Structures are given as C-alpha cells and as structure tokens.
Amino acid sequence: MSSKDIFEKDPVMEERLGRIREVGSQAIWSLSSCKPGFGVDQLRDDCMDTYWQSDGQLPHLVNVQFRRKTTVQDICIYTDYKLDESYTPSRVSVRAGTNFNDLQEIEVVDLNEPSGWVKIPIKDIHDKPIRTYMIQIAVMSNHQNGRDTHMRQIKVYSPVQQHPSTMFTTVECQQYAVIR
C-alpha cells in the first residue's frame, strides 16, 4: 500500500456524517515506552499539538485492547513530518488478535513524509472489516533512521450499521418508512 492511497478526508468529519464511529474510547490503551508527559493521554486528547513520544528500541508499539470482540474498519493516525522530521514513522505494521500471543499482521504501510491523517483500512481476506479483541500498531522504522517516534493522534473506527429505513432519503419516502 503506498502513502498516496491512504490519505483521506478528516476522519472526524466522516464520523460527524454518521458513516463511521470511533471505538477507541471503549478500549484499554498501552505503549511499549514513552517519555514522561508524552503518553496515551496525549495520543488520545484530540489535540494535534500534543503527541506520544516513544523512548527506547524499535519497534515502538501501541496496544489497543477491547473488552469485547469489536469490529474495526480503519485505523487513522495523525502525523506531521514538517514538525517531527526524523520522529515521523516511515513504516507501520498493524496486527490483530485476541491477545499478545496470537497477533497476526493485517497490514503494512510505507509512509513518505506524511502530514495529516493517514487512513489504514483493516480488512479480512473477504474484504470485510475485522472483528477482534486487540489491535497492535507497530512503528517499524522512522524517517531519516530516527530512533524514537511521534504520533499525534490515533483513532480506531467501526462501520455504522445502516438500518433499512435509512435507504429512503426523500421526505416523501421517509414518512412511510416507520410503522406506527
């Protein structure tokens, strides 16, 4: 997958339009390492000015564990090469499973100086969103052979289930869509 395939519109706008929903708030997040004051709270605070900064050896890991099996359609990562340079991820692996012991690689993405939202579709072999208990995002390498990494935001999205009544879009059709 090339980076030109993965830059999308602002996922928050897609969420406002009701096409996807963010499910990361239903998960327990952990990191392989972080500098003090640059951890999970900054990664999930909806502020593009803050970031997670790793502190240690590659790969750098973000673990997202759900309490129940959850449908995951997209992982969206906000990066800013212009600000972060050698701290910007250049290769990211996304893995899924029930726990740390059975994670399987779902997608590998190479990034070329990304600035903005990077959308990584998460699909099974039938091209459908996966159902999983755990997602792991692994930064395999950084630009300019950087050691530590910066990620400014990560969002985990599920598809919104469409009800049959939503296929009628005109007012005339919608007035007959509900049985009283």
How does pLDDT run across 42-72, given as a tens digit for each residue?
999 999 999 999 999 999 999 999 999 999 9
State which H helix or E strand residue 137 sits in: strand 130-142
- What was the pLDDT predicted at 4? 41
Global pTM? 0.85
- What was the pLDDT predicted at 168? 57
Is residue 178 pLDDT above 90, yes or no? no
CA–chain centroid gap for 128, Å, is: 16
Give phi and psi for 103, each to the nearest 5: -65, 135
Please tell me the distance from the alpha carbon of residue 150 to that of residue 158, in angstroms, as a whole number. Answer: 25
Q: Which CATH architecture has domain 11-175?
A: Sandwich (2.60)
Please tell me the distance from the alpha carbon of residue 84 to that of residue 80, in angstroms, as a whole number. Answer: 6
Residue-wise pLDDT tens digits, 88-141: 999 999 999 999 999 999 999 999 999 999 999 999 999 999 999 999 999 999
Residue-wise pLDDT tens digits, 68-98: 999 999 999 999 999 999 999 999 999 999 9
pLDDT band at 14 (very low <50, low <70, confident <90, very high): confident
Please tell me the distance from the alpha carbon of residue 169 to that of residue 150, in angstroms, as a whole number. Answer: 43
Q: Name the residue among 151, 146, 113, 107 with its Cα closest to residue 130.
A: 107
